[in-house]
């Protein structure tokens, strides 16, 4: 029960703070273990670089300083934003359906506040999220209606399973 309350509180905070700021400032708040450096402009679809011999991915900052990339979720290709301010991975119903989740089995019992108002969310566990050569299995996530969330957000339920992540030289470096 306590973990559900914490997840609800975390998602409510995520939605209330993160969603309204997707257009320009959500990465201005960085965790203590990252360093905020000015973002360098990058192509709309930045390529990931992997360090030789390591499970490491480097994502250059895109327009507005966002770290957007193509991920593999449950074996399907999905565009998403890496969001250090998000408690859990959050995806909309269209993406959930595309990666093989059955919406009819989801329990939309968690009330969340989003930029578009109140919404109901469902807690799920994703089998696998892969960013470049880094994969994490059994990742906690939330599914929200399409009207409440337009982009997939990769939050701390994924990032906390890495050995480290940091913003360095205008890029986000993920290590496992």
Sign of CA dihedral 158, 39, 32, 175: positive
Collapsing DSSP to helix, strand or coil, 157 comes out as: helix
Region 124-153: what's the mean pLDDT?
A: 95
Can you give the pLDDT at residue 119? 86
Q: For residues 85 and 30, is the Cβ–Cβ distance under 8 A? A: no
pTM of structure:
0.70
Mean pLDDT of the chain: 78
Q: Helix, strand, coil % (nearest 5) of the chain?
A: 20, 40, 40
**Model pLDDT for residues 54-75, shown as the tens digit of each residue:** 689 999 999 889 999 999 999 9
Can you give the pLDDT at residue 5? 46
Contacts with 52 (C-beta within 8 Å, 6 or more apart), sequence order: none
User: CB neighbours (10 Å) of residue 82?
Assistant: 22
Q: For residues 140 and 3, is the Cβ–Cβ distance under 8 A? A: no
**pLDDT confidence band for 18 (50 / 70 / 90):** very low
Can you give the pLDDT at residue 58? 95
By CB neighbour count within 10 A (0-12 exposed, 13-18 middle, 19+ buried), where does 17 fall?
middle
Residue 4, pLDDT > 80, answer no
Which is more confident, 108 or 114? 108
User: CB neighbours (10 Å) of residue 65?
Assistant: 21
**pLDDT confidence band for 117 (50 / 70 / 90):** confident
Report the distance separating Cα 125 and Cα 101, nearest Å: 10
**Model pLDDT for residues 74-109, shown as the tens digit of each residue:** 999 999 999 988 889 999 999 999 999 999 999 999
Region 109-118: what's the mean pLDDT?
A: 77
143 phi and psi angles, rounded to 5 deg: -110, 130
Report the distance separating Cα 125 and Cα 117, nearest Å: 25
Fold observed for domain 2-175: Cathepsin D, subunit A; domain 1 (2.40.70)
**Model pLDDT for residues 22-54, shown as the tens digit of each residue:** 333 333 333 333 333 333 333 334 445 555 456
């Amino acid at each position: 029960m306590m973990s559900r309350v914490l997840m609800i509180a975390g998602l409510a905070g995520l939605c209330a703070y993160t969603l309204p700021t997707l257009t320009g400032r959500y990465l201005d708040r960085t965790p203590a273990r990252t360093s905020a450096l000015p973002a360098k402009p990058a192509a709309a679809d930045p390529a990931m670089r992997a360090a030789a011999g390591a499970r490491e991915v480097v994502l250059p900052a895109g327009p507005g300083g966002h770290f957007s990339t193509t991920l593999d979720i449950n074996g399907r290709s999905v565009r998403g934003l890496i969001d250090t301010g998000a408690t859990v991975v959050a995806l909309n119903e269209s993406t959930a359906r595309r990666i093989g989740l059955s919406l009819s089995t989801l329990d939309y019992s968690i009330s969340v506040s989003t930029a578009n108002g109140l919404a109901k969310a469902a807690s799920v566990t994703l089998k696998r999220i892969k960013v470049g050569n880094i994969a994490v299995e059994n990742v906690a996530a939330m599914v929200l209606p399409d009207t409440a969330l337009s982009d997939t957000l990769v939050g701390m339920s994924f990032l906390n399973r890495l050995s480290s992540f940091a913003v360095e030289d205008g890029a986000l470096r993920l290590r496992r």
